[in-house]
Amino acid sequence: MTTKDVALYYDELHLWTEKDKSFRVFSGFENDTIHHFLIDDGTGSFSPDTIYKFIGPHIPPHGTCRGLDAGCGYGGTCFHGLRVHGGRWTGITISREQWTYANGIAKARGLEGTIDFHLMSYDDALPGRYNVIVAVESLIHSADPSFTLNNLVASLDAGGRLIIVDDMPRDDVNDADAKILADFKRAWRCPLALSASGWTALARSSGLRLVEEQDLSHLLKPRLEPDLDAAFDDLSSQRAEKTSRGFARLSDAEIGGLHLERLLRRGTIRYIMLVFEK
């Protein structure tokens, strides 16, 4: 796996999202996001915006935020952060399609002075200093999590917070699920996919202390295994045709998503928020 392959993977997902309305809704595109839908216990809604209820308490006081979204996708976290918390927000993505789209939204909303987006990796030298860094379902793609964390921490103020929300495998995975996990990691370009304890150990070695760990898995709605079996057969039958049309990475994403859903249902992967302070 290379950074270029991950970039093309997300570019391809964007192109398919533009042409397929049902995939667009599933992807969270209409919320400017591409992360998990979660149940809101208060309203009962099922939305990719629910995660902000958990992230929000860790954002600096209104107007003082200098936030970075490390792996910003379409910029949803930055737009939400600016609207709710104020301050200034920066997003970085390795996908040219996402970067172009996010900049287009910022321009259309007249936000160029308070939001900026950069086409770059979170392993590159970052474009500023921040008092909060958010990474929602992005660091799982890191090929060198230790390097990635150290790079992020180098641009984080003392007392600043790093918030990681991601799919994190358990430390103990049985043999049957280990094969599914390996297939998921390969399909979704996740070379290591660290556990919560793995991220915590690396964070401590990078000079961070754990402030909060919260398992949000119960707010997901994974389908029943027979439904996942049927969906897998259906998507597998489409694979050759999609590949011939130049959408092999999309097919990987769809099938990998089913593997992830199965592992989340079984509890082999947990959806966890980790909050660290420098």
| Model confidence pLDDT, tens digit, residues 56-77 | 999 999 899 999 999 999 999 9
The pLDDT of residue 33 is 63
Q: Is the pLDDT of residue 108 over 70?
A: yes
How would you label 51-90 residue by residue, b for 16+ Cβ within 10 Å and e otherwise? bbebbeebbbeeeebbbbbbbbbbbbbbbbbbeebbbbbb
According to DSSP, the residues that pair with 153 across neighbouring strands are none
Is residue 106 within a helix (H) or strand (E), and if so which, with residue range? helix 96-108
Residue 184's domain is classified under what CATH number? 3.40.50.150
Q: How confident is the model at residue 112 (pLDDT cuts 50, 70, 90)?
A: confident
Per the structure, the count of domains in the chain is: 1
Distance of CA 143 to the CA centre of its chain: 15
> How confident is the model over 103-125, as a mean pLDDT?
95
Matching residue, tokens 């389908």: 223
Q: How confident is the model at residue 17 (pLDDT cuts 50, 70, 90)?
A: confident
Q: How confident is the model at residue 30 (pLDDT cuts 50, 70, 90)?
A: low
pTM of the model: 0.95
* Distance of alpha carbon 166 from alpha carbon 258, whole angstroms: 16
**Host domain of residue 177:** 3-277
